[in-house]
């Protein structure tokens, strides 16, 4: 989870090569007649899927990093004796799957194409059927997207059934290896990078009106500095307009089929202009200048939407800030992206108390222009939606996004917005359902700190070296079971256990005891100098013993393994028996031992540290009407202490406000 504030600085010259063009340039280089060199290659997850697939099949690929040209990739084709029966991992990249389907059918490569859960739900018939029409043996099979099985290709006329540049590109790439002429007829113009690039490189690919005509041929080797991605720059442009800033973005791809987002904004009052225009391998490139503007309601025609389909969610997000009715035509394709982005847009609008509807073809957003701050958003691991929610959060000055898969398309996304969040995290074995990310999002929102909080799940047998490496990636980190005592040893701490590492690993402490004390005080429990039972003998229990002894509490330890209890009693000179405790503090999950314990008649309260599971002691206390301090309260207070240590920011510890935020998240 990441929490944003209003501190940002838009960068004018961040390297983020155009993703669509990068995929296509890598593929063209892999079948060229010599060695090709590509500069300014952004290594997003999607691009890496294509690069890896090519490296494992048709080309030798070498990566170099330079200060002037960013990531440079040198591609050497190897068109003979191609490997067969491969599994191609397309990850989340529909571009990888569909374009390489065309390439592999053309080359006769037999391969299984697989993808992640999201990609596996996206439609592939749209690319399989046109390739079959060209003679390709391509089929659906269990547990994969599809299989390419060879087949001799012949030219064919393919008429587009959907507005898809990916399908068009697959047909064009297959057509380079087919006997005879291949024609792809479009009903509406889509991105034309593939035909432009291949035509400029000498392949027999030309455009005749609304038809791309392909003959069997091969592109020439080339050197190409890939311009920056207008889709990536769009988020910075949006933030500039929403916050009234002037901004200048350099060396951006300005292909007309990619400017739907910009046209809609210009037609709605945005002052956006282009300068330093020039052409590289058939593509128009230049700078984008944005001036402070007064925006009016948005209208996107079907062509605008086709030319900026990935940016429609961003336009819809911006529409929340602009009073009026906004209409986006012909956007049904958004339901077939990494998530159902139509539903995602509606969810964002609903969180912001705005109206949003989709009639099966057109999307309508109605807003009064007043957007609330401090909201929690769910991205469903869709990078475009996470980026939209980031813009919204920063523009309002505060907001939280649950997951941030920016690396899928733009690893430099936050850098481009001039945002450098603190990296905070939680390390343990069972942290998937932890409340800590939500807690620290709440604390960050309350204190105005921009931070990322991530969970890292490690097996119990993880080595000290690996454990330390994971901890050192964070500016501040929480440690939970079973690593608390090990981390204390790794950092040579005098504390028996550690749950908080701060100052870049220079300092460690435990806030468990602090969390317990504050939780008891939250309930008005007078615990100082009182007899108490401690159930459990782990790191948290021992940390609490150390803390309570500072308040002259009289303590007895009970544990399923009696030798562990005796060890703590001896270490801290605690009595083996202690009658009539006023409170019982449990640090164990429900088990036979915990259920076997009976609360003594003297008990006035219990504290149950496990906030997720059932508890026999809790049930006993509730039946008797005793005060119950729960683990969420303890977590809240110990987390607030950790957060203050990490950030140097005083934290307002309002547990009830945290509970309300938790309701908003749900």
Distance between CA atoms of residues 62 and 79, nearest Å: 17
What's the token pair of residue 60? Answer: 């030798």
Q: What is the pLDDT of residues 48-79, one digit of tens each?
A: 999 999 999 999 999 998 767 779 999 999 98
Axis crossing angle, helix 260-267 with helix 230-242, rounded to the nearest 10:
20
Q: What is the pLDDT of residues 286-319, one digit of tens each?
A: 999 999 999 999 999 999 999 999 999 999 999 9
pLDDT, residue 89, reads 96
pLDDT, residue 665, reads 62
Nearest partner of 320 among 287, 342, 289, 298, judged by Cα: 298
Contact 159, 185 (CB under 8 A): yes
The CATH architecture annotation of domain 19-225 reads: Alpha-beta prism (3.65)
pLDDT average, residue stretch 561-566:
94
Nearest partner of 612 among 481, 459, 471, judged by Cα: 481
What's the token pair of residue 180? Answer: 């005879």
Residue 153 has pLDDT above 90, yes or no: yes
Distance between CA atoms of residues 245 and 492, nearest Å: 50
Nearest partner of 25 among 46, 47, 58, judged by Cα: 47
pLDDT, residue 664, reads 67
Contact 446, 643 (CB under 8 A): no
Phi, psi of 274 (to 5 degrees): -120, 145
Residue 642 has pLDDT above 60, yes or no: yes
Give strand ranges (E) for 219-367.
Answer: 223-225, 247-253, 271-280, 283-291, 299-300, 324-328, 355-358, 363-367
Residue 26 has pLDDT above 80, yes or no: yes
Phi, psi of 519 (to 5 degrees): -65, -40
User: Which range among 192-201, 205-214, 339-348, 494-503 shows the weakest confidence by mean pLDDT?
Assistant: 494-503
If you classify domain 227-397 with CATH, what class do you get? alpha beta
Q: What contacts 524, CB < 8 A, 6 or more positions away? A: none
310 catalytic? Reply is yes
Phi, psi of 112 (to 5 degrees): -100, 130
Contact 3, 400 (CB under 8 A): yes
The CATH architecture annotation of domain 524-631 reads: 3-Layer(aba) Sandwich (3.40)
What's the token pair of residue 309? Answer: 């389909």
Residue 491 has pLDDT above 90, yes or no: yes
Tokens 């729960």 label which residue?
A: 630
pLDDT average, residue stretch 99-120:
95
Residue 333 has pLDDT above 80, yes or no: yes
Contact 224, 280 (CB under 8 A): yes
Axis crossing angle, helix 19-30 with helix 45-55, rounded to the nearest 10:
10
pLDDT average, residue stretch 558-578:
93
Residue-wise burial string across 589-620, b where 16 or more C-beta atoms lie within 10 A, e elsewhere? ebeeebeebebeeebbbbbbbbeeeebbbbeb
pLDDT, residue 98, reads 97
DSSP state of 336: G
Q: Which residues belong to CATH 3.40.50.720 in the chain?
A: 524-631
* Res. 469 pLDDT band, cuts 50 70 90: very high
pLDDT average, residue stretch 419-425:
94
Q: What is the pLDDT of residues 234-272, one digit of tens each?
A: 999 999 999 999 999 999 999 999 999 999 999 999 999
Residue 611 has pLDDT above 90, yes or no: no
Residue 666 has pLDDT above 70, yes or no: no
Q: What contacts 492, CB < 8 A, 6 or more positions away? A: none
Residue 536 has pLDDT above 70, yes or no: yes
Q: Mapping DSSP to helix (H, G, I), strand (E, B) and coil, where does residue 92 land? A: coil
Residue-wise burial string across 1-12, b where 16 or more C-beta atoms lie within 10 A, e elsewhere? bbbbbeebebbe
Q: What contacts 353, CB < 8 A, 6 or more positions away? A: 372
Contact 569, 558 (CB under 8 A): no
Q: Which residues belong to CATH 3.65.10.10 in the chain?
A: 19-225, 227-397
Catalytic residue among 18, 46, 310, 382: 310
Contact 82, 107 (CB under 8 A): yes
Q: Are strands 299-300 and 355-358 parallel, antiparallel or unpaired?
A: unpaired
Report the mean per-residue pLDDT for the chain: 93
Distance between CA atoms of residues 34 and 196, nearest Å: 19
Residue 11 has pLDDT above 70, yes or no: yes
Contact 420, 2 (CB under 8 A): no
Axis crossing angle, helix 312-319 with helix 383-396, rounded to the nearest 10:
20
Distance between CA atoms of residues 628 and 638, nearest Å: 18
Counting residues of the chain whose pLDDT is more than 70, the rounded percentage is 99
What's the token pair of residue 362? Answer: 């057109």
Distance between CA atoms of residues 124 and 131, nearest Å: 11
pLDDT, residue 270, reads 98
Contact 538, 486 (CB under 8 A): no
pLDDT, residue 25, reads 97
* Res. 652 pLDDT band, cuts 50 70 90: confident
DSSP string across 192-247: -HHHHHHHHTT-SEEEETTEEEE-S--PPP-EEEPPBPHHHHHHHHHHHHHTT--E
Distance between CA atoms of residues 287 and 218, nearest Å: 32
What's the token pair of residue 655? Answer: 């547990």
pLDDT average, residue stretch 391-401:
94
In this structure, the chain runs to a length of: 666
* Res. 15 pLDDT band, cuts 50 70 90: confident
Distance between CA atoms of residues 13 and 36, nearest Å: 25
pLDDT average, residue stretch 587-605:
93
């Amino acid at each position: 989870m990441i929490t944003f504030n209003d501190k940002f600085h838009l960068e004018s010259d961040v390297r983020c090569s155009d993703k669509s063009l990068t995929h296509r340039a890598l593929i063209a280089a892999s079948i060229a007649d010599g060695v090709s060199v590509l500069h300014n290659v952004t290594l997003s997850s999607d691009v890496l899927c294509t690069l890896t697939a090519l490296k494992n099949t048709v080309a030798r690929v070498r990566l170099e990093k330079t200060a002037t040209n960013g990531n440079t990739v040198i591609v050497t084709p190897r068109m003979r004796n191609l490997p067969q029966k491969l599994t191609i991992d397309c990850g989340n990249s529909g571009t990888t799957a569909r374009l390489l389907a065309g390439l592999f059918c053309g080359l006769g490569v037999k391969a299984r194409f697989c993808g992640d859960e999201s990609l596996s739900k996206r439609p592939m018939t749209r690319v399989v059927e046109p390739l079959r029409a060209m003679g390709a043996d391509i089929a659906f099979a269990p547990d994969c997207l599809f299989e390419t099985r060879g087949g001799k290709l012949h030219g064919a006329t393919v008429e587009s059934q959907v507005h898809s540049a990916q399908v068009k590109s697959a047909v064009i790439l297959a057509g380079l290896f087919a006997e005879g002429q291949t024609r792809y007829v479009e009903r509406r113009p889509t991105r034309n990078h593939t035909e432009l690039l291949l035509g400029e490189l000498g392949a027999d690919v030309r455009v005749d009106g609304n038809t791309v005509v392909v003959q069997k041929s091969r592109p020439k080797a080339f050197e190409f500095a890939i311009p920056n991605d207008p889709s990536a720059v769009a988020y910075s442009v949006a933030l500039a307009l929403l916050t009234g800033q002037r901004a200048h973005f350099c060396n951006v791809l300005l292909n007309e089929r990619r400017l739907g987002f910009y046209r809609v904004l210009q037609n709605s009052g945005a002052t956006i202009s282009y300068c330093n225009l020039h052409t590289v391998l058939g593509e128009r490139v230049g700078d984008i200048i944005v001036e402070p503007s007064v925006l009016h309601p948005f209208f996107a025609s079907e062509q605008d939407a086709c030319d900026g389909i990935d940016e429609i969610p961003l336009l819809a997000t911006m529409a929340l800030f602009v009073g009026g009715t906004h209409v986006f035509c012909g956007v049904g394709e958004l339901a077939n992206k990494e998530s159902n982005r139509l539903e995602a847009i509606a969810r964002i609008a609903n969180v912001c108390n705005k109206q949003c509807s989709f009639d099966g073809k057109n999307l309508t957003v109605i807003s009064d222009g007043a957007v609330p701050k401090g909201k929690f958003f769910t991205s469903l691991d869709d990078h475009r939606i996470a980026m939209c929610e980031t813009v919204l959060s920063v523009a309002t000055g505060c907001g939280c996004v649950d997951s941030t898969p920016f690396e899928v398309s733009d690893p430099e996304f936050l850098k481009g917005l001039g945002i450098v969040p603190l990296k905070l995290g939680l390390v343990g074995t069972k942290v998937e359902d932890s409340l800590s990310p939500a807690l620290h999002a709440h604390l960050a929102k309350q204190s105005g700190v921009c931070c990322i909080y991530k969970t890292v799940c490690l097996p119990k047998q993880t080595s000290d070296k690996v454990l330390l490496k994971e901890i050192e990636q964070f500016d501040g980190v929480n440690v939970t079971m079973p690593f608390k005592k090990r981390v204390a040893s790794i950092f040579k701490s005098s504390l028996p256990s550690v749950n908080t590492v701060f100052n870049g690993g220079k300092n460690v402490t435990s806030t468990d005891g602090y969390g317990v004390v504050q939780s008891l005080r939250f309930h008005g429990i007078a615990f100082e100098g009182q007899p108490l039972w401690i159930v459990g003998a782990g790191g948290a229990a021992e940390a609490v013993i150390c803390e309570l002894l500072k308040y002259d509490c009289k303590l007895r330890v009970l544990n399923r393994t009696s030798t562990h209890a005796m060890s703590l009693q001896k270490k801290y000179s605690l009595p083996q028996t202690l009658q009539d405790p006023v409170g019982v503090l449990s640090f164990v999950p429900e088990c036979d031992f915990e259920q076997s314990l009976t609360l003594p008649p003297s008990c006035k309260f219990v504290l149950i540290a496990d906030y997720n599971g059932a508890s026999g002691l809790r049930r006993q206390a509730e039946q008797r009407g005793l005060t119950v301090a729960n683990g969420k309260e303890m977590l809240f207070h110990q987390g607030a202490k950790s957060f203050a240590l990490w950030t140097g920011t005083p934290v307002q510890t309002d547990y009830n406000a945290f509970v309300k935020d938790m309701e908003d998240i749900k």
